[in-house]
Amino acid sequence: MRVEFPQGLPEGCTEWLNKHVGKGNTTVNISRTDSPDYNWFYERVQTFDPRNLGQYVPSITVKDPKLATWFALRWSS
């Protein structure tokens, strides 16, 4: 599950992920779906909002569905 953060990543978010979800990847050049070594990934994804076309939004993708739900509930509000 991918969670987007239009206002930027909240402070402490990646530390929380490392502690509760496991090893993460913040390197942009690695395929997020092909690597079994990581439980979560940071990406900058292009937004398709017509008002902000061409803008990039930071996002976190968590592989495990249960942990992804926990992460989204904790950090997306």
Instruction: Compute the 3-state secondary structure of the chain and give helix, strand, coil in percent, each to the nearest 5.
Output: 30, 25, 45
The alpha helices in 1-77, defined as continuous H runs, are 13-20, 65-75
pLDDT in tens, 36-50: 788 999 888 887 777
pLDDT at 70 over 70: yes
Average pLDDT over the chain reads 84
Alpha carbon distance 42, 59 (integer Å): 6
Domain count along the chain: 1
**57 CB neighbour count, 10 Å cutoff:** 16
CA 31, CA 71: separation in Å to the nearest integer?
Answer: 21
Q: Residue 33: is its pLDDT beyond 80? A: no
* Domain span including residue 37: 2-75
Give this prediction's pTM: 0.80
